[in-house]
């Protein structure tokens, strides 16, 4: 229901029933110094039809623009059926699934979500989602430290900047040290440096692919360079890309983490999103959050239950492997519906569409004076453009023309092309590049 009317008479009936003389009397327990003394700029009550019209007029002032911004959150097409299924009351009123006997529907979709994440990542077990990709990276690093008790982490210089910022916040008081790997010449890490940096006190190595610049890293080669060191290999990736690149589990990674926004979820001004995480079997008991399992009941019927939980209200906190005690249930539900509807071939098709459009655009930009695609190959749908112009002024110019792009540095743009972007939109943007003086 979009609108729940409440008349003055109904308000008075509620106050009378509660035994108060007025609403002010009802809230009189609030200290006087906490009251707002000013005046709220709020109109008198409106009818339903007037209120909806008023809100539409406010919304019409927003100019969403055509989005070519990436950097970890992508403007992908969300099939209408996802909104329909995910908004059913069975899902959005469901309580957290402590009691399996009343939560079979919720438990089943979480189980299906975990299973599909394992299929995509090549891992053995997945949890029921974390807050977002950034917190998932931090949890993976903490998991590795708890596993091998070592305190140095090698990180890619091309890790998503938001992920790095959150990771730095987490490790600040955990006696963990972040060591940045050297850059190569092609927008990927310097593979030769890994072997010499794999000291005995290295807890984990964190590599994102496609990385923040859109370039695909060679996870298998990185694993080979790690040698026999017992540091854990943490692979970071947009889960949608795993439909077309070699899954991290098949490349020797121990932990996979990523941001699941691209799986059937809108940009939503930055959230809520969901952190995807999966591991090899040896780490399953250190995995944060919840793990749903499938079994049979006394009558032989299939049933689902919370098999492992690292920290919940009914688990002793001092035994926790993580303080994450929730999952982005509805966001993970949307991801489950999305993956179920599209299947392996559908996910591959979306990647191919995005990639073909991105490579078309990159070739055309490279032909325009004053612009140069920095890394012309080895990217999926996101690439860096160097320019002789100010990137900040460029993005302002594009924004005025209804296009949104990301300023990577003073003279670099990061451009992401998804399946939503039509050839007409791309060609219009290319014309804006050509016309810029």
Q: In terms of DSSP H, where are the helices of 60-160? A: 80-86, 89-92, 104-121, 133-148
Query: pLDDT higher for 398 or 38?
Result: 398
- The residues pairing with 293 across neighbouring beta strands, listed in sequence order, are 305
Mean pLDDT on 137-162: 95
For the chain, what is the largest distance between any 2 Cα atoms, rounded to a whole number of angstroms? Answer: 77
Percent of the chain scored above 90 by pLDDT?
A: 73
Confidence band for 1, pLDDT divided at 50, 70 and 90: very low
pLDDT at residue 313 above 70? Answer: no
Confidence band for 49, pLDDT divided at 50, 70 and 90: confident
Residue ranges matching CATH 3.40.640.10 in the chain: 80-339
Q: What is the pLDDT of residues 372-395, one digit of tens each?
A: 999 999 999 999 999 999 999 999
- The residues pairing with 413 across neighbouring beta strands, listed in sequence order, are 385, 407
Confidence band for 412, pLDDT divided at 50, 70 and 90: very high
Confidence band for 3, pLDDT divided at 50, 70 and 90: low
| Predicted pLDDT at 189 | 96
pLDDT at residue 83 above 60? Answer: yes
| Predicted pLDDT at 317 | 63
The region of weakest confidence among 44-48, 140-144, 149-153 is 44-48
Cβ atoms 112, 127 nearer than 8 A: no
Q: What average pLDDT is seen over the chain?
A: 91
CA distance 324 to 327: 8
| Predicted pLDDT at 87 | 87
- Residue range 80-339, CATH number: 3.40.640.10
DSSP H or E run through 233:
strand 232-236
The region of weakest confidence among 86-90, 254-258, 263-267, 427-431 is 86-90
Residue ranges matching CATH 3.90.1150.10 in the chain: 66-72+344-435
| Predicted pLDDT at 311 | 56
| Predicted pLDDT at 315 | 57
Mean pLDDT on 6-28: 90
- The residues pairing with 178 across neighbouring beta strands, listed in sequence order, are 153
> Helix, strand, or coil here: 14?
helix
Confidence band for 7, pLDDT divided at 50, 70 and 90: confident
CA distance 74 to 415: 11
**What is the fold of 66-72+344-435?**
3.90.1150
The angle formed by the CA atoms of residues 202, 136 and 316, to the nearest 5 degrees, is 90
Q: Kindly give the pairing relationship between strand 275-279 and strand 177-180.
A: unpaired
């Amino acid at each position: 229901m979009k609108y729940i009317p409440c008349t003055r008479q109904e308000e008075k009936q509620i106050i009378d029933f509660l035994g108060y003389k007025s609403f002010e009397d009802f809230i009189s327990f609030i200290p006087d110094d906490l009251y707002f003394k000013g005046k709220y700029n709020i109109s008198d009550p409106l009818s339903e039809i007037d209120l909806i019209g008023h809100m539409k007029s406010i919304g019409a002032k927003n100019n969403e623009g055509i989005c070519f911004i990436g950097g970890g959150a992508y403007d992908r097409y969300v099939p209408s059926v996802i909104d329909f299924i995910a908004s059913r009351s069975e899902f959005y009123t469901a309580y957290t699934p402590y009691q399996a006997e009343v939560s079979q529907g919720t438990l089943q979709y979480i189980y299906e979500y975990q299973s599909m994440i394992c299929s995509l990542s090549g891992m053995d077990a997945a949890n029921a989602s974390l807050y977002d990709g950034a917190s998932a990276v931090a949890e993976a690093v903490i998991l590795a430290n708890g596993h091998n008790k070592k305190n140095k982490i090698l990180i890619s210089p091309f890790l998503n900047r938001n992920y790095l910022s959150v990771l730095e916040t987490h490790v600040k008081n955990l006696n963990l040290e972040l060591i940045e790997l050297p850059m190569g010449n092609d927008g990927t890490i310097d593979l030769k440096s890994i072997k010499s940096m794999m000291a005995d006190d290295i807890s984990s190595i964190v590599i994102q692919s496609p990385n923040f610049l859109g370039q695909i890293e060679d996870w298998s080669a990185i694993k080979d360079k790690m040698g026999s060191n017992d540091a854990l290999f943490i692979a970071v990736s947009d889960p949608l890309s795993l439909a077309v690149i070699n899954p991290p589990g098949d490349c020797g990674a121990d932990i996979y983490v990523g941001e699941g926004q691209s799986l059937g979820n809108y940009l939503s001004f930055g959230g809520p999103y969901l952190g995807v995480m999966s591991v090899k079997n040896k780490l399953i008991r250190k995995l944060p959050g919840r793990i749903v399992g499938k079994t049979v009941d006394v009558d032989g019927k299939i049933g689902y239950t919370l098999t492992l939980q690292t920290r919940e209200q009914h688990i002793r906190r001092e035994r926790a492997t993580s303080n994450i005690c929730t999952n982005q249930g509805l966001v993970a539900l949307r991801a489950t519906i999305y993956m179920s509807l599209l299947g392996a071939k559908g996910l591959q098709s979306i990647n191919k569409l995005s990639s073909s459009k991105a490579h078309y655009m990159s070739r055309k930009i490279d032909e325009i004076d004053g612009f140069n695609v920095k890394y012309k190959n080895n990217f999926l749908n996101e690439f860096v453009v160097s320019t002789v112009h100010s990137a900040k002024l460029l993005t302002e110019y594009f924004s005025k023309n209804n296009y949104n792009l990301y300023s990577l540095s003073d003279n670099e743009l990061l451009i992401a092309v998804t399946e939503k972007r039509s050839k007409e939109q791309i060609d219009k943007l290319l014309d804006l590049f050509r016309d810029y003086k």
